Amino acid sequence: MNTLQRACCLALIGMAGSGLAGLGLAAEVKPILVIHGGAGVERADMSPEDIAAARKALEQALRAGHAQLAAGKPAVDAVATTITVLEDAPMFNAGRGAVFTHDGKNELDSSIMDGATGKAGAVAGVHRIKNPIQLARLVMDKSKHVMMVGDGAETFATEQGVSLVDPSYFRTEKRWQQLQKSLKEEASGQAHSDLETAKHFGTVGALALDAQGHLAAGTSTGGMTNKRYGRVGDSPVIGAGTYADTKCAVSGTGWGEFYIRSVAAFNICARVRYGGQDIGSAAKAVINEEIPKAGGDGGAIALSADGTAAFPFNTEGMYRGWIGADGVPHVAIFADDPLPLPKP
């Protein structure tokens, strides 16, 4: 090897170490999974046992999703798996822990989006689907539609071999008592006395970046305590509560009407794609500035294609966490909880 050849080889090695940019090749992608279990968490309403249970559930969900990414599965698989675990955990307002409507029923909404293909699926107002995120995935993969609602969505579920559960499966005493308190406050003309019974909080969500550099997002919720008349919030609305493209993924949690009006999830990603903002600035601008200015509140998780994550929220707490390629889960609940941010 002559001097010129040796110099060329060294230059190529240097370019490889700096991300292979000089060769026009993509750098190695470090898979990451980001989750939330809802904003609006109040410390005064949680016992030490509640806090421990929530942290454990968040960690279990992160490990389940990480196992999918570690096995080389696509981001949408990790998102669906993660949210399924959160839906099964009764401390979150989704699936098993869903809140009650004014009529004493549980109505579930969910959506999922594959950033690599732009495909999406959603369900709303279902009563007998144990894991709505799985049905949303089937709508995306097995139908020509994006959203199905109510009885029609459940008919589609049966056609796809999904077993329906008795609505009593979703009943938890804590959520039932929240409805009773809300009904009494409503009857007396009293405003909600605390965030625990505030109508607009609660949701779970997950975002994933897989080894191929593809993003996905998903969200699931039981909606609002004491909601009426078939109300649907932002969680199943693509662009409002859930969105993913090739550069950005977002899942929201908060006062759904304001997330719909501001097209919150897409708004964040549009700021990244078209406005050149970093993910943290974009998420903060929408969640902590634009939505509060309009009268709403809540939080979100956001993830960019380089593995940068953001966790903006404007309530006392938001269940949240992430897990990287090393498989170590990081979770937090309140605003003053330390949550180290992932390093791309």
- Binding site for substrate, by residue number, is 231-234, 253-256
Residue 165 CB partners (closer than 8 Å, separation 6+): 128, 129, 130
3-state secondary structure the chain: CCHHHHHHHHHHHHHHHCCCHHHCCCCCCCCEEEEEEEECCCHHHCCHHHHHHHHHHHHHHHHHHHHHHHCCCCHHHHHHHHHHHHHHCCCCCCHHHCCCCCCCCCCEEEEEEECCCCCEEEEEEECCCCCHHHHHHHHHHHCCCCEEEHHHHHHHHHHCCCCCCCHHHHCCHHHHHHHHHHHHHHHCCCCCCCCCCCCCCCCEEEEEECCCCCEEEEEEECCCCCCCCCCCCCCCCECCCEEECCCEEEEEEECHHHHHHCCHHHHHHHHHHCCCCCHHHHHHHHHHHHHHHHCCCEEEEEEECCCCEECCECCCEEEEEEECCCCCEEEEEECCCCCCCCCC
Alpha-carbon gap, residue 197 to 31, rounded angstroms? 37
203 is known as an active-site residue: yes
Catalytic residue among 81, 82, 197, 203: 203
Catalytic residue positions?
Answer: 203
